[in-house]
Amino acid sequence: MSMKAKYTTISEAFDILSKEKEHNDFEKENLSYTEAFLKYKGKDARKAVDYLMSEFKLQEKVAVKLVDLKPGTKEELTVILSTYGVMLSEEDLNKVEDYFND
């Protein structure tokens, strides 16, 4: 049996962790971390990931990172994409920037 990796946004991790009534110390720490860095609600985060993957043909791990960090400028966006070896056209960079700033 093989397992398929699924990248999860911080927002989705928060939703998963917050459903539990009791948490061990590790889960409490992770819940606190995810809550501190929430940029979207869980379902909105997944919609954003799906949009970035379909519209700009980004890998899931790249789209998840963008959603988690929600870059506010084209420069921030370019830095994040470059860490994954991804380059987008100026037009696409503008579209992604606009998407995150709406």
Domains and CATH numbers, the chain: 7-102 (1.20.1250.40)
**Lowest mean pLDDT across 1-15, 35-49, 78-92:** 1-15
Angle at 98 between CA 92 and CA 102, to 5 degrees: 155
How much of the chain exceeds pLDDT 70, in percent? 98
- Residue 46, number of CB atoms within 10 A of its CB: 19
Average pLDDT score over residue span 62-74: 97
Q: Which DSSP category does 35 fall into?
A: H
Residue 2 has pLDDT above 80, yes or no: no
